Amino acid sequence: MITLWINHQELKVKKGTTILEAAKFANIHIPTLCHLKLEDFGIVNQGASCRVCMVEVEGRPNLMPACTTEAVEGMKIRTDTLRAIVARRMAVELLLSNHPNECFTCPKNLECDLQALAKELGIREIPWVGEKMNYDKDTSSDAIVKDPNKCVMCRRCETMCNDVQTCRILSGMNRGFDAFVGPAFNIPMVESSCTYCGQCVAVCPTAALTEVNHTNKVWKALNDPKKHVIAQVAPAIRVALGEMFDMAPGTIVTGKLATALRRLGFDGVFDTDFGADLTIMEEASELVHRLKHNGRLPILTSCCPAWVKFFEHQFPDMLDIPSTCKSPHIMFGAVAKTYYAEKMGIDPESVVVVSVMPCIAKKAEAKRPELTKDENNNVDIVVTTREFAAMLKEAGIDFATLEDSDFDRILGESTGASVIFGTTGGVIEAAVRTAYEWITGETLENVEFSQLRGIEGIREAEVKVGDRVLKIGIAHELGNARRLLEAIREGKVHYDAIEIMACPGGCVGGGGQPYHHGNMEIIRKRQEAIYKEDRNKPRRKSHENSEVLQLYHEYLGEPYGEKAHQLLHTYYEA
C-alpha cells in the first residue's frame, strides 16, 4: 500500500493504482471523457486523448492526466486548483469549438457525455471558433448511423471494435480539426465487415455513432387501420427498460412492459421468449440429431446476429458448424405471419411484426435477404430498448406507475429456459435442460447448471447426460469468440456445443440497451434479474411450454421435421 493526498485528504491505495482510481476511493470526482474501464470484461480505453482529467501534482511542472498517471508514495494531488479547473474547461471548450451546435435535434440530446461535461464544468460560452467539419452522415446500413462531424476522437469505439470485438473496422483518420474515426478509407459501413454488434455505439460519448432510428416506422404502422401490428419483446428488455424510467438496474418490468405495449395500441402483445422456447425445441433436436448420427460437432448457437455476421466474415471455412436455427425473434415472426394469422383469421399481408430488442444487429438481421424474401419476410421493424423507451415517453406513458398485465395468447407463454437467453450461458443452459430429458428419458430435477453460468469471457463445462459427457464452450464478446473458434479450427480443443454472444454479458449488455456509462455493476444486476425471473417461472424447460407444444401439434408437426425446417431454419453465406 502507498499513502498519498488528494485535495488534502490522506488515503492509502494499492501500488499501481492510477490517480483517477485513487480519487474514486476517496469519493473525489474527476471528470473524464475518453476514459472507459470495464475490468471484468477486459475493456480499457485510457489513451488520455481528451485531457479532461488533468490534475496538479506537487513538484511536477505540468498538469498530469489522472487516468494514466500512477499514484506514488507521498504524492500530493490537487484536483480543485484554478489551474486544473481552467485546463479541464479549456479541453472541453476546444472540443466544443468545432462541434456541431445541434443539441436540440441530436439523437443524444440529454444523453451526451460531452453535453453533460459542458454543464458540469460550468461552460457558458465557447471562446474559440473552430473549423467545423462537413462530412456526410453514413446512413448506408440498416443498423448504425455514423456522423463524423460529432466525433471527438476519444477512441472508445476503436477500443471496443478493435481490442474487445477484434472486428477491426474502426480507426482514426485525418488530422487536426478534420480528424474522425471510421472504417478504413471511410468506406460506407455497409461495405465493411461490421457485425453491427453496436458496442461502438454503446460507448460513443456523443452521437458520432448511433442506431438507425425506426420509431417513426412503428408510429406509422400503429396508425394504419389496415395493419395488424404486433409486438414481441426480447428477454433482456424486461431487466433493463426500467433504467430509462429511473428504476434501479435489474428491476424486472415484464408486466409493465406488456401493459405499455397495449397502451401504445399494438394489436397483439407477445414475448420473444416464446420464440426462444421454440428455438430450443429445434436447436436441442438438432444437437440430439448430430450426436446420434455422428454429425458435425460442435454445434454453435446461432441466435446472436452479430455473431452470425462475424463467423460469416471471419470463419467462412466453418459455416457447416452453426445451428441452422433462425434466431428466436425471427422464428416468432415466421410463426406470427403463418400459424397465428391463420388461427386468428387475419390476412398475413396485413401483419406487421415489431421486435423490441436490446440489440442493434437485429435491425440488420431482419433485413437479411434470406429472411425477407417471398413468404420469409419474418420481422418488419426492430427498435432498441432505448428507442422503445423514447416512444413511451413521447406517448406520455408514465411507465413506472403502470399496472402489470400478461402477454397475449397464443404466442405469449414462456418458460424460465427462454428468459435466460438474455444472459451469457443461458441459451446453452436452456438447450441442455431439454436435451438432457430427451436423451435420458429422465426428469431433470435441478434445472440450474451453475457450471454454465458466470461472467468470464470464455468458459467451459462438462455436463453428464446419460452415459455421455457433453463438453460445452461459452464465450461472450467477439474477441473471445474468435479465440475459441481459432482453437477449434487448429484442433487444440474439442467441444460438443458452443454458445456465443457478441456483447459483454450477452444480450443484457446489448448495444441497444440503456447506456451503462462503463458501470459494469449494471450489467451484473441485469444478469441477476434474468436468473431471478427464471426461478419465478412455473415452467422452466422449453419443451414444457404448452403453447409451443400446441403449435407443433396443430401446425408444425415434428420438431426438426419438414415444415419446421421450411419455416424455422436458415442458411449462412460467406
Annotated active-site positions, please?
A: 283, 286, 303, 323, 362, 365, 370, 507
Nearer to ligand SF4, 164 or 432 (CB): 164
Alpha-carbon distance values, 490 to 55, 91, 307, 447 (Å)? 49, 48, 20, 34
503 forms part of the interface with ligand SF4 (CB under 6 A):
no
Do 412 and 269 form a contact (C-beta atoms < 8 A)?
yes
Q: Which of the choices ligand SF4, ligand HC1, none does residue 194 contact, using the CB cut-off of 5 to 8 A by kind?
A: ligand SF4
Place of cell 463445462: 461
**Residue 198 is a binding residue for ligand SF4 (CB under 6 A):** yes
Tell me phi and psi for residue 539, to 5 degrees: -115, 135
Location of C-alpha cell 467451459: 460
Is 439 a binder of ligand SF4 (CB under 6 A)? no
Residue 357 near ligand SF4 by CB under 6 A? no
Residue 235 touches which of ligand SF4, ligand HC1, none (CB < 5 to 8 A by kind)? ligand HC1
On the question of a cis peptide bond just before residue 305, with omega within 30 degrees of 0, the verdict is no
State which residue, 201 or 397, has the beta carbon closest to ligand SF4: 201
CA distance 346 to 366: 22
Nearer to ligand SF4, 161 or 257 (CB): 161
Is residue 208 at the binding interface for ligand SF4, with CB under 6 A as the rule?
no
Cα→Cα distances 407→261, 413, 440, 525, Å: 10, 7, 33, 24
Q: Which is nearer to ligand SF4, 109 or 171 (CB)?
A: 171
Asked if 322 interacts with ligand HC1 (CB under 6 A), we say no
Residue 279 corresponds to which amino acid?
Answer: T
Window of 61-69, 197-205, 389-397, 548-556 that interacts with ligand SF4 by CB under 6 A:
197-205
- What whole-number distance in Å separates Cα of residue 180 and Cα of residue 174? 7
Whether residue 54 contacts residue 79, with contact meaning beta carbons closer than 8 Å, is answered with no
Distance CA 465, CA 444 (A): 10
Tell me if residue 294 falls in helix, strand or coil. coil
Cα–Cα distance measured from residue 98 to residue 135, given in angstroms and rounded to the nearest whole number: 13
- Which residue in 506, 509, 511, 559 binds ligand HC1 (CB under 6 A)? 506
**Residue ranges in 115-144 that form contacts with ligand SF4 under rule CB under 6 A:** 144
Residue 511 contacts ligand HC1 per CB under 6 A: no
Other CB atoms within 10 Å distance of the CB of residue 569 = 17
Interface with ligand HC1 includes 325 (CB under 6 A)?
A: no
Asked if 522 touches ligand SF4 (CB under 6 A), the answer is no
C-alpha grid cell for residue 373? 424474401
- Pick from 512, 434, 517: nearest CA to 111: 517
Tell whether residue 378 is a contact of ligand HC1 (CB under 6 A).
no
How far is Cα 527 from Cα 423, in angstroms, rounded to an integer? 6
402 sits in the region (left: phi over 0; alpha: psi -120 to 50; else beta) called beta
- Find which of ligand HC1, ligand SF4, none residue 245 binds, CB within 5 to 8 Å per kind: none
Residue from 4, 204, 303, 500 touching ligand HC1 (CB under 6 A): that is 303
Task: Determine which residue in the list 327, 434, 480, 527 makes contact with ligand HC1, applying CB under 6 A.
Answer: 327
Strands lying side by side in the sheet with 351-357: 268-271, 228-233, 351-357, 381-384
- As measured in angstroms, the least distance from the Cβ of 433 to ligand SF4 is 31
Q: Which part of the chain contacts ligand HC1 (CB under 6 A), choosing from 40-48, 174-182, 324-332, 428-436?
A: 324-332
Binding to ligand HC1 by CB under 6 A, coded x per residue (else -) over 137-176, reads ----------------------------------------
Nearer to ligand HC1, 275 or 559 (CB): 275
> What is the rounded distance in angstroms from the CA atom of residue 151 to the CA atom of residue 158?
12
Task: Identify whether 410 is preceded by a cis peptide bond (ω within 30 of 0).
Answer: yes
- Shortest distance, position 301 Cβ to ligand HC1, whole Å: 8
Q: Does 411 bind ligand HC1 (CB under 6 A)?
A: no
Q: Judged by CB under 6 A, which of 65, 242, 358, 511 binds ligand HC1?
A: 358
Q: Does 507 bind ligand HC1 (CB under 6 A)?
A: yes
Query: Which residue number, 160 or 336, has a Cβ lying nearer to ligand SF4?
Result: 160
Among 36, 38, 54, 170, binds ligand SF4 (CB under 6 A): 170
Is-contact 348 341, C-beta < 8 A? yes
Tell which residue, 507, 537, 535, has the closest CA to residue 523: 507
Locate 218 and state its grid cell. Answer: 412503428
* Residue nearer to ligand SF4 on the CB measure, 236 or 497: 236
The residue range among 118-126, 291-299, 327-335, 467-475 that interacts with ligand HC1, by the rule CB under 6 A, is 327-335
Nine-digit cell string for 420: 435466460
In the complex, minimum distance from the CB of residue 521 to ligand HC1, in angstroms, rounded to a whole number: 19
The string of DSSP codes covering 183-230 is EGGG--GGGTT-----HHHHH-SSSSEEEPP-HHHHHHHHT-TT-EEE
Of 189 and 276, nearer to ligand SF4 (C-beta) is 189
> Based on the number of CB atoms within 10 Å of its own CB, is 110 exposed (0-12), middle (13-18) or buried (19 or more)?
exposed
Provide the grid cell at 154: 476519444
Angle between helices 272-292 and 328-335 (to 10 degrees): 110
Q: Which stretch binds ligand SF4 (CB under 6 A): 120-128, 190-198, 522-530, 558-566?
A: 190-198
Compare residues 187 and 395 and give the one whose CB is closer to ligand SF4: 187
Q: Is 161 in the site for ligand SF4 (CB under 6 A)?
A: yes
Residue from 290, 362, 363, 543 binding ligand HC1 (CB under 6 A): 362
Smallest distance, ligand SF4 to C-beta of residue 431, A: 26
Measured in residues, the chain has a length of 574
Chain residues binding ligand HC1 by CB under 6 A are: 234-236, 272, 275-276, 303-304, 327-329, 357-359, 362, 421-422, 506-507, 510
Q: What is the binding site for ligand SF4 (CB under 6 A)?
A: 144, 160-161, 165, 167, 169-170, 194-200
